[in-house]
Amino acid sequence: MYKGIIVIVFFLIGMLQGNSQNKEKIFIGTKHNLHSEILNEEREYWVSLPDSYNNEGSTYKNYPVLIVLDGNVHFKSISGMVSFMAGNGEIPEMIVVAIQNVDRRRDFTPDKIITVRKNNSGGGERFLGFLEEELIPALDKEYRTEPYRILFGHSLGGLLAAHTYMKDKTLFNAFIAADPSFGTWNAETMDKKLEAATQNSFKRFLYIATANWGKRNIRNRDRHVRFYESLNSKCEGDFPAKMEYFENKNHSTVPLVAFYNGISSIFEGYGVSYRDINTVKQLEQQFQTISQRLSWDFKPLETLVNQIGYRFLRSRNEKERSKALEFFILNTNNYPNSSNAFDSLGEAYENLGDDKNANINYQKSIQLNSENGHTTMETNSSKENVNSSIKSGFWQSAGKNPFWINVVGNDVYWLGMNNPVDNKSFGENWCHVGNGKIIGDKIELSWSDIPAGKDKLYGNITIDIIDDTHIKVIQDSGNFGKSEWKWIASSRTFAELN
């Protein structure tokens, strides 16, 4: 198998938080070649891994797989979109696999198309054989995959996605068909396929996007509506599907909005805010609804549960503080191989005065990851020493962006902004404020952009206190990024920045 690096030297939304002064290359994926015995040819595919994939504390994680047809066209945009949406907690992190084309008419048409001139259409089943019998097993062997798989296709690729959805057996669980080319099927062919569809199809999720075809618009929409409504009438329960028409998008411009709306529809309800959850039962019901709709067990995101737990742990209300334990325990039950889950549970017990259970969970955390920087209470003379050692003053991120941090007891207040870019002002792209609390050797902080800059993002971050002059983000939401800061001076004015 050939393997090479794909180098993208322009900014891609969602991949990194901006710092254009560091002229470093952005790596978003790798190239691979696999010889297909079924197709009797070499097939190239590109892979983009989730941001957390290679993190030391994430080796226990498995990831759903998104297969993208016409990968040479859609890889960069869809990889960036998945990274951005997963960073905001809207969808799970995924492994994106983009298939490069050899002969799309041959590969994406499941049936022979009769034309005046000779053509090689009708190879869709063989191509699906390559995907399911050769490529997916190779991916499962190479990467930490979760066997929940999504197939995205546009035009003829959407036709193949719709065809695969109706098969009695397939390895795919959800489908996004962007303006599928149903014109290649006559009414008799479509009727036969619809009639042959079994209830197994309705255990999968289907999203169809319809574009505006101008003068041919009615015919194209009619085909899509007929296909969708026929399936809807055949489904014995609630039809897990959605179809949308885009008046302002044509066949060529619809793929990106179709993917965004499609992946959002699949994971509707996944991106619940930590502020909206008040009980473990409420959170579990939220994800049970998602799991039932998708016929797959999706657990609450570990970082989301952590945010909810720390929200209650920071409360001045004693009943709410004790409620934090329920969420941290939920994380250790759902993610028993997560060092951070047990570390957070240990901190909760310690803050609630239960030293015995705090030590038990700290020790479990260390067993799972001896490099997590945490020690048991017996060997750590005073965790309060860590808390009190972080310095107030002027800090800089690794990208030289200025931050002002003030520590009052265990409360942390801060202001951060971007460096000038192209002779513009400080904070013109982004400027945010934050407020949080030191808990153990970490800072749990909520942040939000303010109208001084262009960005309007917000979220929560967990910061590891390395020492009194060095801190680093270990968990983030709102597309904050894995930033790192060092203390520079006890104070610095705006004028001194220039």
pLDDT at position 389 = 63
Average pLDDT over residues 253-281: 95
> What is the pLDDT at residue 480?
86
DSSP 3-state of 93: coil
- What is the C-alpha separation between 465 and 195, in angstroms, rounded? 61
% of the chain residues with pLDDT over 70: 90
Average pLDDT of 394-421?
Answer: 88
139-158 pLDDT, tens digit per residue, is: 999 999 999 999 999 999 99
Q: CA 370, CA 366: separation in Å to the nearest integer?
A: 5
pLDDT for 31? 96
Please state whether beta strands 241-246 and 205-211 pair in parallel, antiparallel, or not at all (unpaired): parallel
C-alpha distances out from residue 308 to 52, 134, 277, 285, 331, Å: 20, 42, 7, 15, 11
Q: Read off the pLDDT of residues 43-68 as tens digits, 9 standing for 90 and up.
A: 999 999 999 999 888 899 999 999 99
Q: How confident is the model at residue 117 (pLDDT cuts 50, 70, 90)?
A: confident
Would you call 48 helix, strand, or coil by DSSP? strand
Amino acid 238: pLDDT: 93
Residue 352 has pLDDT above 50, yes or no: yes
Which of the residue ranges 216-225, 254-263, 396-405 has the most confident prediction, judged by mean pLDDT? 254-263
Residue 85 has pLDDT above 50, yes or no: yes
- Where are the alpha helices (H) located in 89-175, listed in sequence order? 104-108, 124-129, 136-142, 156-165
Global pTM?
0.74
Q: Say whether pLDDT at 198 is over 80.
A: yes
Indicate if the pLDDT at residue 315 is higher than 90.
no
**Among residues 305, 287, 390, which one has the least CA distance to residue 344?**
305
- Written as six digits, the tokens of 87 are 């960073």
pLDDT at position 378 over 80: no
At residue 16, the pLDDT reads: 46
Residue 110 has which token pair?
């499941």
Give the single-character DSSP code of 301: P
Q: For residue 373, what pLDDT is reported?
A: 57
Could you read off the pLDDT of 382-391 as tens digits, one per residue? 344 434 568 8
More confident residue, 182 or 97: 97
Total Cβ atoms within 10 A of residue 247: 8
Distances (CA, A) of 473 to 15, 444, 445, 462: 16, 10, 10, 6
124-130 long-range CB contacts below 8 Å, 24 or more apart? 124/160, 124/163, 126/38, 126/39, 127/39, 127/160, 128/160, 128/164, 128/170, 129/38, 130/36, 130/38, 130/39, 130/43
Q: What is the mean pLDDT of residues 259-270?
A: 97
| Dist CA 124 CA 127 (whole Å) | 5
Strands, sheet with 95-99, edge to edge from the N-terminal-most edge strand: 3-8, 26-36, 41-48, 95-99, 63-68, 145-154, 174-178, 205-211, 241-246
Task: Please tell me the number of Cα atoms within 13 Å of 311 on its side-chain side.
Answer: 17
Contacts of 62 (CB under 8 A, 6+ apart): 144, 145, 146
Average pLDDT across the chain, whole number:
88
Confidence of residue 337 (pLDDT cuts 50, 70, 90): very high
**Which residues fall within 8 angstroms of residue 130, CB to CB, at 6 or more apart?**
36, 38, 39, 43
Least confident of 75-84, 104-113, 286-295, 422-431: 422-431
Q: Beta-strand (E) ranges in 37-186?
A: 41-48, 63-68, 95-99, 145-154, 174-178
**Which candidate, 16, 50, 86, places its Cα nearest to that of 418?**
16
Residue 86 has pLDDT above 50, yes or no: yes
pLDDT at 200 over 90: yes
Measured over all CA atoms, what is the biggest interatomic distance in the chain, rounded to whole angstroms? 84
Q: Which of 46-50, 119-123, 128-132, 244-248 has the lowest mean pLDDT?
A: 119-123
